[in-house]
Structure 1
Amino acid sequence: MSFPRPLRRSASLSPARSLRLVVLGQGAVGKTALTVRFITRRFIGDYDPTLEMIYRHVAVIDGDSVHLEILDTAGQEEDSLQLEEKIKWGEGFAVVYSVTDRCSFDEVLRLCFLVRHLHGGARRAGEHPPLVLVANKKDLQGDRMVATAEGESLAKALELPFLEISARDSFEEAAGVFVALCRELRRQGRLSPGSCKRRAAPSKLVEKIPRMPASPAAPPAGRSLSFNSFRDYVPE
């Protein structure tokens, strides 16, 4: 399996431009592990699956500074309107499933449909929002329930890039997910400075999710990251 090459140098990658990426998928598929692996280069296996966080990170891709805001969703059963708000907030999307969990694979189609439905009106005809399908935990071959060919077939049917990765074993594979989204955003012209002026106002719901400052220090070895629950920030 080949992974996206680093972004080539481009004047359109403005340091002042924050790209909003959303990581979607059922609980326990490794969304937080994937995101934290990309940001800190470390793998941490244990997280509270009910927590959500927006990570701010400055990635240097082939000499260019790209400012990212990455929304790591909880993946639990939630109000559909809340999920829609989070999808509307984003500009690029990684839909993640675990190769050890058939139910998480079955959820992919619904999430991809929601992303395209909610963003379809703002795109040119025939152009979809940047979206990549990610199969995680390929290192757990003994527990595999979803074959690589099944993921490739679904991605082909949906016309999506497909990456089968191990967030535990490879920083490069984890980084490839976010590089792929940045490349597609650039291809669609979403990185131009002028597009920042047209961006819609942030959702009040999503703004309640706690934020991690840009380029956070790596957590101490052997400890997991812990954040307040997204529900703690939503009025009753």
Structure 2
Amino acid sequence: MAGWKDGSVQEKYRLVVVGGGGVGKSALTIQFIQSYFVTDYDPTIEDSYTKQCVIDERAARLDILDTAGQEEFGAMREQYMRTGEGFLLVFSVTDRGSFEEIYKFQRQILRVKDRDEFPMILVGNKADLEQQRQVSPTDCRDMNPLASAKIRMNVDQAFHEMVRVIRKFQEQECPPSPEPTRKEKDKSGCHCVIV
């Protein structure tokens, strides 16, 4: 945390982008950071980015880790899962398997964090490829609009919503006025939305 000039502390968030190989994690991240669409698929091992932005009139620094989707890099997962404060679980609407694989990532994050819930949002990418869609609108009926890194649709919204979920989670974890005894945490599961 930095900055006390006006009495406020700069908010800093460590976001982790996870999901299967080829779902567009890097394309979403680079589109958010640089407003540029990456056309070549080059499997990521691990890349990190930083972006300063204002979300709901509050300045924030986002440290974003773009992770490997390939199974051969699975051993690296537990390390970033330990340090992440919020997770964007990315799947491709053109790949049913990537949608089903998301639950594996969700369970692993909760296990590593030893929590019943943790800040996560579900991001359905490649919404511009409607003709190749394998994840039906019924699967996504209770969720926000889908994203497309290619046409920059709902990209900023996904990252901003992740920060909102983290803020809400942190406020619940550390309420301004501490209670004499801590209540049992809510066991409702993670907050997952498609943006």
TMscore range, shorter length = 0.7 to 0.9
Q: How does 1:1-236 map to 2 (within 5 A)?
A: 14-15=9-10, 17-78=11-72, 80-121=74-115, 128-152=117-141, 163-171=145-153, 173-189=154-170
Q: Conserved in 2, the CA contact under 8 Å of 1:13 and 1:64? A: no
Tell me the residue number matched to 1:219.
none
Q: Conserved in 1, the CA contact under 8 Å of 2:26 and 2:44? A: no
Which 4+ runs in 1 deviate beyond 3 A? 11-14, 190-193
> Aligned to 1:104, what secondary structure does the other structure show?
helix
How many residue pairs were aligned? 169
- The residue type equivalent to 2:33 in the other structure is I
> Aligned to 1:151, what secondary structure does the other structure show?
coil
Matched residues, percent identical?
37
Structure 1: distance between partners of 2:8 and 2:150: 29
Gaps of 5+ in 2: 1-5, 175-195
Q: Conserved in 2, the CA contact under 8 Å of 1:59 and 1:66? A: yes
TM-score, structure 1 normalization:
0.64
Moved more, 18-27 or 35-44: 35-44
Tell me the residue number matched to 2:179.
none
TM-score, structure 2 normalization:
0.76
Q: Conserved in 2, the CA contact under 8 Å of 1:12 and 1:191? A: no
Structure 1: distance between partners of 2:60 and 2:173: 12
Gaps of 5+ in 1: 1-10, 194-236
Say if 1:100 and 1:184 are closer, same or farther in 2 by CA, change over 3 A.
same
Structure 2: distance between partners of 1:176 and 1:42: 16
Q: Conserved in 2, the CA contact under 8 Å of 1:133 and 1:162? A: no
Cα drift, residue 64 of structure 1: 2.5
User: Relative contact order: is structure 1 or structure 2 higher (C-alpha 8 Å, sep ≥ 6)?
Assistant: 1
> Aligned to 1:148, what secondary structure does the other structure show?
coil
Q: Conserved in 2, the CA contact under 8 Å of 1:132 and 1:181? A: yes
Q: String of CA shifts for 1:38-90, please: whole Å, max 9, x gaps.
A: 11222222241133201111112244320111110120113544211111110
Say if 1:192 and 1:64 are closer, same or farther in 2 by CA, change over 3 A.
farther
Cα RMSD, aligned residues only: 2.7
Q: Conserved in 1, the CA contact under 8 Å of 2:88 and 2:123? A: yes
Say if 1:180 and 1:12 are closer, same or farther in 2 by CA, change over 3 A.
farther
Q: String of CA shifts for 1:163-208, please: whole Å, max 9, x gaps.
A: 511121135x001111111111111226999xxxxxxxxxxxxxxx
> Aligned to 2:91, what secondary structure does the other structure show?
strand
Moved more, 23-32 or 143-152: 143-152
Q: Conserved in 2, the CA contact under 8 Å of 1:185 and 1:191? A: no
